[in-house]
Structure 1
Amino acid sequence: MSVNEYIAEAAAIELPSSDDETDIEHPEDADVCSDQQLAKEFRVHYIKDEASLDFNHFYVISLAASADFTRLAVGQNVPAVKIYDLSEGGGLTQIQELNTRSPIWREKGREVVNRGVRFLDDSGNTLLVGYSNGDVRLFDLRTADDQARFKATVRLTPSLPESIRCFDRNANSRILCCGTKRRTNTYLLFFDIRERKELGLYCESHSDDITSVRFHDTYPDLLCTGSVDGLINVFDIKESDEDEALQNTINTESSVQRLNWYQNANNKEVITCITHTNDFKSYECLEGDNWLSFERSEIVAGIRRKSPANFNLINAHTMQDRRLFLLAGTNFNKGEILRSVIAPAKGLLTPFTNFVGNKQIVRESLYDAKRDLLVTGGESGIISVWTSDAGNVKSFNNLKSASAVAKKHKITPY
């Protein structure tokens, strides 16, 4: 099996629960500095609240937040989706569950899993949920019923996609785009959400699984897509056909796992990219110039760990002052280490936050810049809300006892 085939296969396989795994021992994996130095270099965030998906074999596939960050949707490794209220102080309350008894749990003998969740508009009442069988459903949370289903038909393409890998809706909530693959055919499918109809497809710009589809948060016609083929494509979807819509193609020389949009200090639109090899790359949207890149070994050094073997680069988030930070963790001790670093426009990565008391390998995260609040989900099926604690003095002694303090004041959710 070639390297590209291995990466493609790994990208398509769902992650197992860490509760079912035996930790791989890496005796050389440890902090590169003392606890005192960690306390000096990193600020500390603590678990404000937690919720569990109830069963050890459930884990978090995807997270989405409403525009005001008061409601969370949690996609699992089954079609079920849980909805939580998130209070101003960071407290979680489950209010709803979708599809717990849905007949689409299995299709053609295969398990159907979640492929993403996305709130449709600012109201927080409508939610798009994607499934591996190729369905994207629109739910009204006030009734818990699906209002529409979007799936390719023979009219759109004679060779129907077997599944979708990812999806997104655009800034005005009008267009839905799904990244799919059927054998050697790779498609970007487009639907009109309001009129509930198929619009068309792109089929020439990627040659392998499409792993990330991201519309710009402000410009409804601007779309970037990433694939196992290593390409990032930028489209202006108001153009009439695929060739005219394609504005830029960027070769990452890797395999794309996650894309996000970011506006740098020069007000240029930047696409940030996390690869399947846990490197960070970013490019100016239309020029395609490499804006900022860090190899996994550099990020491992930034979070003050020794071994890249256990390392996971989780996400890139934008702060209120427009600085960019990278969230990273390890598989060591079932995900105990969770930290972030500032990605400066020039120079080395800077230690930023140490998330004390983490209990799982984290795979998904959301960030509310206004409250400096992070939400994480992962392989143990736990949703954690992280905030700074102004009442705690970030001293060496406090850092050493932070995990014990969190356990003392927090009831374990499982």
Structure 2
Amino acid sequence: METSASMDVEEQPPSPTPNNLKRFGIKNSIQTNFGDDYVFQIVPKDDWSSMAVSLSTNTVKLYSPLAGQYFGECNGHSATINQILFSGASDPNVLSSCSSDGTIRAWDTRTFQQVSSINAGLSQQVFSFSYGGPGGNLIAAGCKSQILFWDWRNKKQIACLEESHVDDVTQVHFVPDEQSKLISASADGLICTFDTSGNINDDDHLESVINMGTSIAKVGIFGGSSPKLWCLTHIETLGIWDWKDGRNEVTFSDARTLASESWNLDQIDYFVDCHYSREADKLWLIGGTNAGTLGYFPVNYRGVAAIGPAEAILEGGHTDVVRSVLPMSRNHSGFAPSSSNQGVFGWTGGEDGRLCCWFSDDSPQINQSWISSSLVMKSDKTRKKNRHQPY
């Protein structure tokens, strides 16, 4: 059952304010649960007709991104869900999820029923997965110091890389424009690039290694003709690399301090993600406070490296750490709302169990703000969990 109630949202703009700052207000907030559980990740279907939300209850719920309508949920995992991903245009109604229970499961989002499952083995955990490969038929999974590969058509395991990492593989990504290339990242501080053509093995297919020097939480590939890679670590540092030649563009070891000094709100306690606009060729670092306020901080990695003043602020929706941000922009074209998404900027989910929908501050619909009045009180046991552990 999803509930909501009305309340006022105070607007308290920070000062000084950059000329291009945009503030966003709450349009809609959904309470996803009635316990001490919270939101992990939000991902959209290709056509934006639905979005999937993974919860710490080992459940995935589906909602309408525009109306916030609850569609249903997928149940089956017996441990933490570490990543969710829609299969894409080839199979638009299939959602996949991986878990610490050692499985990758596929769900039909029309019936919310499981349609297939891959098991990584006894005592194994799956922290990340990606679809790709030279023929588009591979699933790669980041596990305990291993990267496993299956052919998703017959669920047959075809390779295991076990010499490149010595700790949990927290991220695997097939490169969008070069599907034979796989990038992995690990708690051992290494980022590896592999060629997945032919018979995949550690000796012949490892192409490059980048050493971040500390446990890696999340990586992303961005850029146009000169593709880059951003990397967020578990100690909240940010690195920008040229992934093809392993060259470090810049490392912000004091990223939290730089972001905190770029606005006059509470200090930045953690980073949620990075967001890249292909149209503007611009990268933002998304930082948050423990009270639930978010800021988009532009990252300059060319010339004089800098983290600039916040260009977007999302405030007044969450009361705890934010785990996921979903901008409502199919082309990643920045902050401007369009008629196709009715002025919705995006959705966020956090450890308060809330999903918050944000409108631009210049949208007439912002005056219709409403938010759940039912807060989630977290137990001491849950509070002691390390936010940075992805598994």
| Alignment equivalent of 1:145, drawn from 113, 120, 139 | 113
1:342 corresponds to 2:304: no
User: In structure 1, what residue type is equivalent to 2:299?
Assistant: A
Structure 2 SS opposite 1:298: helix
Per the TM alignment, residue 293 of structure 1 is displaced from its structure 2 partner at its CA by 2.8
CA contact (8 A) 1:179 1:210 kept: yes
CA contact (8 A) 1:190 1:201 kept: yes
Structure 1 residues 273 and 146, CA, compared in 2 at 3 Å: closer, same or farther? same
Per the TM alignment, residue 64 of structure 1 is displaced from its structure 2 partner at its CA by 1.5
1:261 corresponds to 2:218: no
User: In structure 2, what residue type is equivalent to 1:284?
Assistant: D
Structure 1 residues 413 and 141, CA, compared in 2 at 3 Å: closer, same or farther? farther
2:346 corresponds to: 374
1:174 corresponds to: 137
1:121 corresponds to 2:88: yes
Structure 1 residues 92 and 41, CA, compared in 2 at 3 Å: closer, same or farther? same
Per the TM alignment, residue 127 of structure 1 is displaced from its structure 2 partner at its CA by 0.6
1:14 corresponds to: none
Structure 1 residues 70 and 325, CA, compared in 2 at 3 Å: closer, same or farther? farther
Instruction: Output the CA distance in 2 between the equivalents of 1:299 and 1:234.
Output: 30
- Higher normalized helix content (fraction of residues): 1
CA contact (8 A) 1:120 1:173 kept: no
- Superposed counterparts of 1:204-219, under 5 Å: 204-219=163-178
1:162 corresponds to: 124
User: In structure 1, what residue type is equivalent to 2:232?
Assistant: I
Per the TM alignment, residue 413 of structure 1 is displaced from its structure 2 partner at its CA by 6.3
Q: Deviations over 1:206-226 (max 9, x none)?
A: 011111112222322121111
2:232 corresponds to: 274
CA contact (8 A) 1:173 1:193 kept: no
1:357 corresponds to: 316
Per the TM alignment, residue 143 of structure 1 is displaced from its structure 2 partner at its CA by 2.6
Provide TM-score, normalisation by structure 1: 0.76
Structure 2 SS opposite 1:38: coil
1:313 corresponds to: 271
Per the TM alignment, residue 63 of structure 1 is displaced from its structure 2 partner at its CA by 2.0
CA contact (8 A) 1:235 1:246 kept: yes
Alpha-carbon RMSD across the aligned residues, in angstroms, is 2.5
Kindly, what percent of the aligned residue pairs are identical?
24
Instruction: Output the CA distance in 2 between the equivalents of 1:287 and 1:53.
Output: 44
User: In structure 1, what residue type is equivalent to 2:37?
Assistant: F
2:389 corresponds to: none
Structure 1 unmatched runs, 5+: 1-33, 106-111, 154-159, 393-404
Structure 2 unmatched runs, 5+: 1-12, 338-344, 375-391
1:134 corresponds to 2:109: no
1:157 corresponds to: none
Provide TM-score, normalisation by structure 2: 0.80
Per the TM alignment, residue 391 of structure 1 is displaced from its structure 2 partner at its CA by 4.0
1:285 corresponds to 2:243: yes
